[in-house]
Homo-oligomer: A and B are copies of this chain.
Amino acid sequence: MGKSSDGKYDIILHAAIDVISEKGLDKTSISDIVKKAGVAQGTFYLYFSSKNALIPAIADNLLTITFESVKEKIQGKETFWSILEVMIDETFRITKEYKNIIILCYSGLAIDHSMEKWEAIYQPYYDWLENIIKKAIQQNEIISDINLKWTAKTIINLVENASERFYISQVQDDTIEVYKIEVFNFIKRSLITPS
Contacts and interface: CB of A to CB of B under 8 A. Distances in A.
A110 B113 contact: no
Nearest to A171: B119
A154 interface: yes
Interface in A176-195: 178-179, 182-183, 185-187, 189-191, 194
A1 interface: no
A77 interface: no
A165 interface: yes
Nearest to A149: B173
Name the prevailing secondary structure of the A interface residues.
Answer: helix
A191 B191 CA distance: 11
A182 B191 CA distance: 12
A178 B147 contact: yes
Nearest to A188: B190
A110, A113, A157, A178: which has the most chain B beta carbons within 10 Å?
A110
Interface of A: 24-26, 103-104, 106-108, 110-111, 113, 115-116, 118-119, 143, 146-147, 149-151, 153-154, 157-158, 161-162, 165, 168-171, 173-174, 178-179, 182-183, 185-187, 189-191, 194
11 contacts: A24-B111, A107-B108, A149-B174, A154-B158, A154-B182, A154-B183, A157-B158, A157-B161, A161-B161, A190-B190, A194-B194
